[in-house]
Amino acid sequence: MLWDIFCKVIDNHGDLGVCWRLCADLAQRGHHVRLWVDDPQALAWMAPGALEGAYKPEGQAAAANIQIRAWDSALQAPQDIPSDVWIEAFGCELPAHFLTQASNTLNRAKLPVWLNLEYLSAEFYVQRSHRLPSPVQHGPLRGHTKWFYYPGFNNRTGGLLREPNLAARQAAFDAPAWRARADALALPSQREAPTPPASGCRTSLFCYEPAVLGQALALSDLNPEGHRWWVTHGRAHQAVVLALNQFDLASPKPSWTALPALSQFEFDHLLWASDLNFVRGEDSLVRALWAGKPLVWHIYPQEDNAHHAKLEAFLDWLQAPASLRDFHRVWNGIQSTPLPALDLPAWGICVQKARERLLAQTDLLTQLLQFVAEKS
Protein backbone atom coordinates (compact mmCIF):
# COMPACT_ATOMS: atom_id res chain seq x y z
CA MET A 1 0.00 0.00 0.00
CA LEU A 2 0.93 3.67 -0.29
CA TRP A 3 0.97 5.63 2.96
CA ASP A 4 1.03 9.40 3.54
CA ILE A 5 2.53 10.22 6.96
CA PHE A 6 2.51 13.80 8.25
CA CYS A 7 4.94 15.13 10.87
CA LYS A 8 5.39 18.65 12.25
CA VAL A 9 8.70 18.80 14.09
CA ILE A 10 8.58 20.03 17.69
CA ASP A 11 11.43 17.97 19.10
CA ASN A 12 13.34 16.49 16.19
CA HIS A 13 14.66 13.57 18.23
CA GLY A 14 11.17 12.46 19.23
CA ASP A 15 8.36 13.14 16.77
CA LEU A 16 10.52 12.81 13.67
CA GLY A 17 12.31 9.80 15.16
CA VAL A 18 9.07 7.93 15.76
CA CYS A 19 7.74 8.84 12.31
CA TRP A 20 10.92 7.69 10.63
CA ARG A 21 10.93 4.36 12.47
CA LEU A 22 7.34 3.84 11.31
CA CYS A 23 8.30 4.71 7.73
CA ALA A 24 11.31 2.38 7.80
CA ASP A 25 9.25 -0.47 9.29
CA LEU A 26 6.61 -0.02 6.57
CA ALA A 27 9.25 0.02 3.85
CA GLN A 28 10.89 -3.14 5.21
CA ARG A 29 7.51 -4.86 4.92
CA GLY A 30 7.13 -3.85 1.27
CA HIS A 31 4.97 -0.73 1.57
CA HIS A 32 5.58 2.68 -0.03
CA VAL A 33 5.61 5.85 2.07
CA ARG A 34 5.48 9.60 1.49
CA LEU A 35 6.68 11.41 4.63
CA TRP A 36 5.44 15.01 4.72
CA VAL A 37 7.57 17.01 7.17
CA ASP A 38 8.18 20.69 7.85
CA ASP A 39 11.79 20.30 9.06
CA PRO A 40 13.53 17.13 7.82
CA GLN A 41 17.13 18.18 8.48
CA ALA A 42 17.67 15.88 11.48
CA LEU A 43 17.23 12.92 9.12
CA ALA A 44 20.70 13.71 7.74
CA TRP A 45 22.21 12.07 10.84
CA MET A 46 19.23 10.08 12.11
CA ALA A 47 18.80 8.11 8.86
CA PRO A 48 21.77 8.75 6.53
CA GLY A 49 20.70 8.80 2.89
CA ALA A 50 17.06 9.59 3.66
CA LEU A 51 17.12 13.16 2.33
CA GLU A 52 18.64 11.94 -0.94
CA GLY A 53 16.17 9.07 -1.35
CA ALA A 54 18.98 6.59 -0.81
CA TYR A 55 18.25 5.33 2.72
CA LYS A 56 19.03 1.63 3.13
CA PRO A 57 17.88 -0.28 6.21
CA GLU A 58 20.68 -2.17 7.93
CA GLY A 59 21.49 -5.32 5.97
CA GLN A 60 19.41 -4.25 2.96
CA ALA A 61 20.95 -3.83 -0.50
CA ALA A 62 18.17 -1.69 -1.99
CA ALA A 63 17.01 1.75 -0.93
CA ALA A 64 13.78 1.85 1.05
CA ASN A 65 10.49 2.91 -0.56
CA ILE A 66 10.33 6.24 1.31
CA GLN A 67 9.92 9.66 -0.28
CA ILE A 68 10.50 12.83 1.76
CA ARG A 69 8.07 15.60 0.86
CA ALA A 70 8.11 19.22 2.00
CA TRP A 71 5.13 20.06 4.21
CA ASP A 72 3.81 22.70 1.82
CA SER A 73 4.58 20.92 -1.45
CA ALA A 74 1.64 20.29 -3.76
CA LEU A 75 0.35 16.98 -5.02
CA GLN A 76 1.28 16.57 -8.67
CA ALA A 77 -0.83 14.65 -11.15
CA PRO A 78 -0.40 12.06 -12.51
CA GLN A 79 2.71 10.93 -10.60
CA ASP A 80 1.25 11.52 -7.12
CA ILE A 81 -1.28 8.74 -7.09
CA PRO A 82 -3.85 8.63 -4.27
CA SER A 83 -2.66 6.83 -1.16
CA ASP A 84 -4.34 4.12 0.91
CA VAL A 85 -3.66 5.54 4.38
CA TRP A 86 -3.23 9.01 5.89
CA ILE A 87 -1.52 9.34 9.27
CA GLU A 88 -1.47 12.57 11.28
CA ALA A 89 1.35 12.08 13.79
CA PHE A 90 1.07 13.51 17.30
CA GLY A 91 -2.00 15.62 16.72
CA CYS A 92 -0.78 17.54 13.67
CA GLU A 93 -3.49 18.20 11.08
CA LEU A 94 -3.19 17.57 7.36
CA PRO A 95 -2.02 20.65 5.42
CA ALA A 96 -4.96 22.64 4.08
CA HIS A 97 -3.64 22.50 0.52
CA PHE A 98 -3.35 18.71 0.73
CA LEU A 99 -6.95 18.36 1.93
CA THR A 100 -8.23 20.66 -0.79
CA GLN A 101 -6.36 18.87 -3.57
CA ALA A 102 -7.29 15.46 -2.19
CA SER A 103 -10.96 16.38 -2.01
CA ASN A 104 -10.88 17.36 -5.69
CA THR A 105 -9.26 14.14 -6.88
CA LEU A 106 -10.49 11.39 -4.58
CA ASN A 107 -13.64 9.39 -4.63
CA ARG A 108 -15.32 11.15 -1.70
CA ALA A 109 -17.40 8.07 -0.96
CA LYS A 110 -14.26 6.11 -0.06
CA LEU A 111 -11.34 8.02 1.40
CA PRO A 112 -8.04 6.49 2.49
CA VAL A 113 -8.08 5.20 6.07
CA TRP A 114 -7.41 8.39 8.06
CA LEU A 115 -5.65 8.05 11.41
CA ASN A 116 -4.44 10.29 14.22
CA LEU A 117 -1.37 8.51 15.66
CA GLU A 118 -1.19 9.80 19.23
CA TYR A 119 1.45 10.21 21.92
CA LEU A 120 2.60 7.25 24.01
CA SER A 121 1.33 6.95 27.57
CA ALA A 122 0.54 4.26 30.13
CA GLU A 123 -2.41 6.26 31.48
CA PHE A 124 -5.85 4.63 31.48
CA TYR A 125 -7.40 7.05 28.98
CA VAL A 126 -5.22 5.51 26.26
CA GLN A 127 -6.97 2.15 26.27
CA ARG A 128 -10.33 3.91 26.60
CA SER A 129 -9.67 6.15 23.56
CA HIS A 130 -7.77 3.74 21.31
CA ARG A 131 -9.54 3.09 17.96
CA LEU A 132 -12.35 5.56 18.65
CA PRO A 133 -13.81 7.44 15.64
CA SER A 134 -13.32 11.19 15.27
CA PRO A 135 -15.92 12.65 12.86
CA VAL A 136 -14.53 15.44 10.67
CA GLN A 137 -16.66 18.55 11.40
CA HIS A 138 -15.04 21.16 9.15
CA GLY A 139 -13.20 21.60 5.87
CA PRO A 140 -13.55 20.06 2.43
CA LEU A 141 -13.79 16.51 3.81
CA ARG A 142 -16.32 17.15 6.58
CA GLY A 143 -18.65 14.26 7.14
CA HIS A 144 -15.88 11.69 6.91
CA THR A 145 -14.19 9.95 9.83
CA LYS A 146 -10.67 9.69 11.09
CA TRP A 147 -9.61 7.35 13.88
CA PHE A 148 -7.64 7.75 17.07
CA TYR A 149 -4.75 5.31 17.24
CA TYR A 150 -2.82 5.10 20.51
CA PRO A 151 0.48 3.31 21.08
CA GLY A 152 0.66 1.71 24.50
CA PHE A 153 2.07 -0.85 26.87
CA ASN A 154 -0.72 -3.45 27.03
CA ASN A 155 -2.89 -5.47 24.67
CA ARG A 156 -5.79 -3.01 24.92
CA THR A 157 -3.73 -0.40 23.05
CA GLY A 158 -1.92 -0.16 19.72
CA GLY A 159 1.34 -1.56 21.10
CA LEU A 160 4.88 -0.34 20.40
CA LEU A 161 6.97 -0.10 17.25
CA ARG A 162 9.09 -3.24 16.94
CA GLU A 163 10.48 -4.09 13.53
CA PRO A 164 10.44 -7.80 12.59
CA ASN A 165 14.24 -8.14 12.47
CA LEU A 166 14.92 -6.46 15.83
CA ALA A 167 15.52 -9.69 17.76
CA ALA A 168 17.92 -10.96 15.08
CA ARG A 169 19.82 -7.67 15.12
CA GLN A 170 20.19 -7.79 18.88
CA ALA A 171 21.30 -11.43 18.85
CA ALA A 172 24.02 -10.66 16.28
CA PHE A 173 25.23 -7.51 18.06
CA ASP A 174 28.86 -7.63 19.24
CA ALA A 175 28.79 -5.50 22.39
CA PRO A 176 32.53 -5.81 23.26
CA ALA A 177 33.51 -4.68 19.76
CA TRP A 178 31.16 -1.68 19.94
CA ARG A 179 32.45 -0.71 23.38
CA ALA A 180 36.01 -0.83 22.08
CA ARG A 181 35.02 1.39 19.17
CA ALA A 182 32.98 3.89 21.23
CA ASP A 183 35.94 6.06 22.17
CA ALA A 184 36.93 6.28 18.50
CA LEU A 185 33.55 7.93 17.91
CA ALA A 186 34.25 10.56 20.55
CA LEU A 187 34.07 14.27 19.83
CA PRO A 188 36.68 16.57 21.31
CA SER A 189 35.21 17.55 24.68
CA GLN A 190 35.27 21.03 26.16
CA ARG A 191 37.00 19.65 29.25
CA GLU A 192 39.71 17.05 29.46
CA ALA A 193 38.13 13.91 30.86
CA PRO A 194 39.92 11.23 32.88
CA THR A 195 40.99 8.08 31.07
CA PRO A 196 37.97 5.74 30.82
CA PRO A 197 38.17 2.69 33.09
CA ALA A 198 38.68 -0.69 31.48
CA SER A 199 35.72 -2.14 33.37
CA GLY A 200 32.93 -0.91 35.58
CA CYS A 201 29.53 0.48 34.65
CA ARG A 202 28.96 1.87 31.17
CA THR A 203 26.13 4.42 31.09
CA SER A 204 24.50 6.17 28.15
CA LEU A 205 23.12 9.66 28.78
CA PHE A 206 20.37 11.13 26.59
CA CYS A 207 18.52 13.73 28.65
CA TYR A 208 17.26 17.31 28.86
CA GLU A 209 18.75 19.44 31.68
CA PRO A 210 17.97 17.73 34.99
CA ALA A 211 18.80 19.84 38.02
CA VAL A 212 20.45 16.84 39.71
CA LEU A 213 22.75 15.90 36.82
CA GLY A 214 25.87 16.90 38.76
CA GLN A 215 24.66 14.80 41.66
CA ALA A 216 24.21 11.81 39.36
CA LEU A 217 27.69 12.23 37.87
CA ALA A 218 29.16 12.31 41.39
CA LEU A 219 27.09 9.33 42.57
CA SER A 220 28.43 7.12 39.83
CA ASP A 221 31.99 7.93 40.82
CA LEU A 222 31.45 5.86 43.97
CA ASN A 223 31.47 2.69 41.85
CA PRO A 224 34.68 0.92 42.96
CA GLU A 225 35.21 -0.56 39.48
CA GLY A 226 34.90 2.80 37.76
CA HIS A 227 32.18 4.36 35.67
CA ARG A 228 32.11 5.48 32.05
CA TRP A 229 29.53 7.93 30.71
CA TRP A 230 28.69 7.88 27.00
CA VAL A 231 27.13 11.31 26.50
CA THR A 232 24.94 11.91 23.45
CA HIS A 233 25.18 14.88 21.15
CA GLY A 234 23.23 18.09 21.78
CA ARG A 235 21.44 18.99 24.99
CA ALA A 236 22.88 16.14 27.07
CA HIS A 237 26.43 17.09 26.10
CA GLN A 238 25.82 20.75 26.91
CA ALA A 239 24.23 19.83 30.24
CA VAL A 240 27.22 17.69 31.24
CA VAL A 241 29.67 20.48 30.46
CA LEU A 242 27.66 22.90 32.60
CA ALA A 243 27.35 20.37 35.43
CA LEU A 244 31.09 19.66 35.45
CA ASN A 245 31.81 23.38 35.66
CA GLN A 246 30.05 23.30 39.06
CA PHE A 247 32.33 20.57 40.43
CA ASP A 248 34.75 21.54 43.17
CA LEU A 249 38.29 21.64 41.80
CA ALA A 250 39.36 19.03 44.34
CA SER A 251 36.56 16.64 43.41
CA PRO A 252 37.32 13.64 41.17
CA LYS A 253 35.95 14.14 37.67
CA PRO A 254 33.80 11.44 36.11
CA SER A 255 35.03 9.65 33.02
CA TRP A 256 32.93 10.58 30.00
CA THR A 257 32.96 10.40 26.23
CA ALA A 258 31.18 13.00 24.10
CA LEU A 259 29.56 11.16 21.20
CA PRO A 260 28.57 12.62 17.83
CA ALA A 261 24.97 12.55 16.62
CA LEU A 262 24.16 8.88 16.13
CA SER A 263 21.94 7.30 13.51
CA GLN A 264 18.97 5.34 14.78
CA PHE A 265 20.88 2.10 14.21
CA GLU A 266 23.90 3.34 16.15
CA PHE A 267 21.68 4.68 18.93
CA ASP A 268 20.27 1.16 19.33
CA HIS A 269 23.84 -0.12 19.54
CA LEU A 270 24.66 2.43 22.24
CA LEU A 271 21.72 1.23 24.34
CA TRP A 272 22.60 -2.43 23.83
CA ALA A 273 26.25 -1.85 24.80
CA SER A 274 25.44 0.08 27.99
CA ASP A 275 24.79 -1.26 31.48
CA LEU A 276 22.46 1.64 32.35
CA ASN A 277 20.53 3.88 29.95
CA PHE A 278 19.27 7.39 30.68
CA VAL A 279 16.74 8.22 27.97
CA ARG A 280 14.26 10.99 27.25
CA GLY A 281 10.99 11.50 25.40
CA GLU A 282 9.18 8.72 23.57
CA ASP A 283 11.30 7.07 20.89
CA SER A 284 14.35 6.44 23.07
CA LEU A 285 12.20 5.10 25.93
CA VAL A 286 10.79 2.41 23.64
CA ARG A 287 14.24 1.54 22.31
CA ALA A 288 15.58 1.32 25.88
CA LEU A 289 12.78 -1.10 26.79
CA TRP A 290 13.74 -3.31 23.85
CA ALA A 291 17.39 -3.10 24.96
CA GLY A 292 16.34 -4.71 28.23
CA LYS A 293 18.90 -2.87 30.37
CA PRO A 294 18.25 -0.81 33.53
CA LEU A 295 16.83 2.55 32.45
CA VAL A 296 15.94 5.98 33.77
CA TRP A 297 13.41 8.05 31.81
CA HIS A 298 13.54 11.84 31.57
CA ILE A 299 9.95 12.53 30.61
CA TYR A 300 9.17 15.55 28.42
CA PRO A 301 8.25 18.34 30.90
CA GLN A 302 4.90 20.09 30.50
CA GLU A 303 3.98 23.47 31.96
CA ASP A 304 0.90 22.19 33.78
CA ASN A 305 2.90 19.25 35.23
CA ALA A 306 0.71 16.78 33.36
CA HIS A 307 3.87 14.74 32.89
CA HIS A 308 3.86 13.87 36.60
CA ALA A 309 0.80 11.62 36.25
CA LYS A 310 2.17 10.24 33.00
CA LEU A 311 5.43 9.26 34.71
CA GLU A 312 3.62 7.64 37.65
CA ALA A 313 1.44 5.62 35.27
CA PHE A 314 4.55 4.37 33.47
CA LEU A 315 6.27 3.42 36.74
CA ASP A 316 3.14 1.55 37.82
CA TRP A 317 3.06 -0.38 34.53
CA LEU A 318 6.81 -1.04 34.82
CA GLN A 319 6.26 -2.42 38.35
CA ALA A 320 9.29 -0.38 39.32
CA PRO A 321 10.91 -1.08 42.71
CA ALA A 322 10.94 1.75 45.27
CA SER A 323 14.53 2.77 44.53
CA LEU A 324 13.80 3.16 40.80
CA ARG A 325 10.59 5.12 41.50
CA ASP A 326 12.46 7.49 43.82
CA PHE A 327 15.29 7.93 41.32
CA HIS A 328 12.80 8.82 38.57
CA ARG A 329 10.97 11.32 40.76
CA VAL A 330 14.17 13.10 41.78
CA TRP A 331 15.62 12.96 38.25
CA ASN A 332 12.44 14.54 36.87
CA GLY A 333 12.25 17.27 39.52
CA ILE A 334 9.10 15.89 41.15
CA GLN A 335 10.81 15.01 44.44
CA SER A 336 13.47 17.18 46.10
CA THR A 337 15.34 14.53 48.09
CA PRO A 338 18.89 13.43 47.16
CA LEU A 339 19.21 10.84 44.43
CA PRO A 340 19.04 7.30 45.83
CA ALA A 341 21.88 4.88 45.15
CA LEU A 342 21.93 2.98 41.87
CA ASP A 343 20.51 -0.53 42.23
CA LEU A 344 21.24 -1.99 38.81
CA PRO A 345 20.49 -5.65 39.64
CA ALA A 346 16.95 -4.87 40.84
CA TRP A 347 16.35 -2.35 38.06
CA GLY A 348 17.60 -4.80 35.44
CA ILE A 349 15.26 -7.56 36.61
CA CYS A 350 12.35 -5.11 36.49
CA VAL A 351 13.07 -3.99 32.91
CA GLN A 352 13.68 -7.55 31.70
CA LYS A 353 10.27 -8.63 33.02
CA ALA A 354 8.64 -5.60 31.37
CA ARG A 355 10.36 -6.47 28.09
CA GLU A 356 9.02 -10.02 28.27
CA ARG A 357 5.49 -8.70 28.73
CA LEU A 358 5.91 -6.43 25.71
CA LEU A 359 7.35 -9.18 23.51
CA ALA A 360 4.22 -11.23 24.19
CA GLN A 361 2.12 -8.45 22.62
CA THR A 362 1.62 -7.71 18.94
CA ASP A 363 3.76 -4.83 17.69
CA LEU A 364 2.26 -1.50 16.63
CA LEU A 365 2.65 -1.80 12.87
CA THR A 366 1.22 -5.32 12.70
CA GLN A 367 -1.81 -4.08 14.64
CA LEU A 368 -2.03 -1.00 12.46
CA LEU A 369 -2.03 -3.07 9.28
CA GLN A 370 -4.86 -5.17 10.70
CA PHE A 371 -6.81 -2.02 11.60
CA VAL A 372 -6.34 -0.53 8.11
CA ALA A 373 -7.52 -3.78 6.52
CA GLU A 374 -10.58 -3.71 8.75
CA LYS A 375 -11.48 -0.11 7.83
CA SER A 376 -10.62 -0.23 4.12
**So which residues are the catalytic ones?**
15, 282
* Pick from 270, 313, 309, 310: nearest CA to 293: 270
Q: 3-state DSSP call for residue 296?
A: strand
Taking a C-beta distance cutoff of 8 angstroms, is the pair 164, 29 a contact?
yes
| Separation of first and last alpha carbons in the chain | 11
The residues, ordered by sequence, that sit 6+ positions from 65 with a Cβ below 8 Å of its Cβ are 27, 30, 31, 32, 33
**What is the rounded CA–CA span in Å between residue 101 and residue 274?**
49
Exposed, middle or buried by CB within 10 Å (0-12, 13-18, 19+), for 90? buried
Helix (H) or strand (E) holding 308: helix 306-318
Cβ-proximal residues to 189 (8 Å cutoff; 6+ apart), any chain: 241, 256, 257, 258
99-126 burial, b at 16+ Cβ within 10 Å, e below that, comes to bbbbeeeeeeeebbbbbbbbbbbbbeeb
